[in-house]
Amino acid sequence: MKDDKAVELFQKILAKSRDRAIKWEATAQEGIYIASLAPELQLKVWPYTTIDEDGDPSGPPSVDLRDGKGKLLVEMSYRIEGISHEQLGEISHIAKRIALSLDDKMDAAIKKLDELVGDSDLPF
Tens-digit pLDDT profile for residues 54-96: 888 878 999 999 999 999 999 999 999 999 999 999 999 999 9
Q: Does residue 124 lie in a domain region?
A: no
- The pLDDT value recorded for residue 123 is 66
Q: How many folded domains does the chain comprise? A: 1
Cα–Cα dist 12/25, whole Å: 18
Mean pLDDT across 11-16: 98
Q: Is residue 121 part of a domain?
A: no
Q: How confident is the model at residue 51 (pLDDT cuts 50, 70, 90)?
A: confident
pTM of the predicted structure, to 2 decimals: 0.84
- Please compute the mean of the pLDDT values over residues 104-109 and round it to a whole number: 94
For residue 83, being part of any structural domain is answered with yes
Report yes or no on 35 lying in a domain. Answer: yes
